[in-house]
Structure 1
Amino acid sequence: MPSIEDLATRLSQALPPQVGPIRDELHANFRAILQSQLARLDLVPREEFEAAREMLAHSRRKLDAMEQRLAALEAERKA
């Protein structure tokens, strides 16, 4: 995944040659805009996401086991 600096560099390099004298200023502006817009997003670090995903998978396994146990108890009760 490209960094903010990489994205700002790509944007400034994509500008036409006529803006050459202000390219550095535009690069700084691109970087500032990207940082401010990304800060507004509700993002979580990858580590937090992975931890939440593992916790959800663990809860799902426990729920499946409980459902099986309940089904077995209900079958016993009917017999």
Structure 2
Amino acid sequence: MINAKKLEEIAHQISESMPSGIKQFAGEMEEKTKQVLQSKLAQLDLVTREEFDVQTRVLMRTREKLADLEQKMADLEAKLAESDKSE
């Protein structure tokens, strides 16, 4: 779900931007930053692009079926109205 490589890059950038006196802790800080980022991103309940695309296709098919059913209902209502007039 979450691109681990991108998280590593972000954590590395954060550790690199720290003052030189703190860089001795860079490895530990990078790991902690990665853990925090992964934890917070996991809480966001994100979906992958693939999951999003699948749900988009499902929604499109559902809309098409709904439009077909609406048309069939309109046709049936028209036929019923015609048969009521002829009686």
TM-score range, shorter chain: 0.7 to 0.9
Greater than 6 Å deviation, 4+ residue runs: none
Normalised to the residue count of structure 2, the TM-score between the two structures is: 0.73
Give distance in 2, aligned partners of 1:16 and 1:75.
Answer: 77
Higher relative CO (Cα under 8 Å, sequence separation at least 6) belongs to: 2
Q: Give the conservation status (yes or no) of the 8 Å contact 2:14–2:30.
A: yes
Letter in 1 for 2:56: R
How many residues were matched structurally? Answer: 79
Identity among equivalent positions (%) equals 35
Encode CA deviations 1:7-66: one digit per residue, 9 max, x unaligned.
111211222333222222211111111122222332233222221221111011000111
Letter in 2 for 1:45: T
Aligned to 1:57: 60
Gaps of 5+ in 1: none
Moved more, 55-64 or 40-49: 40-49
Q: Which has the larger radius of gyration?
A: 2
RMSD: 2.0
**Paired residue secondary structure (1:15):** coil
TM-score under structure 1 length normalisation: 0.78
CA–CA distance in structure 2, aligned partners of residues 57 and 25 of structure 1: 47
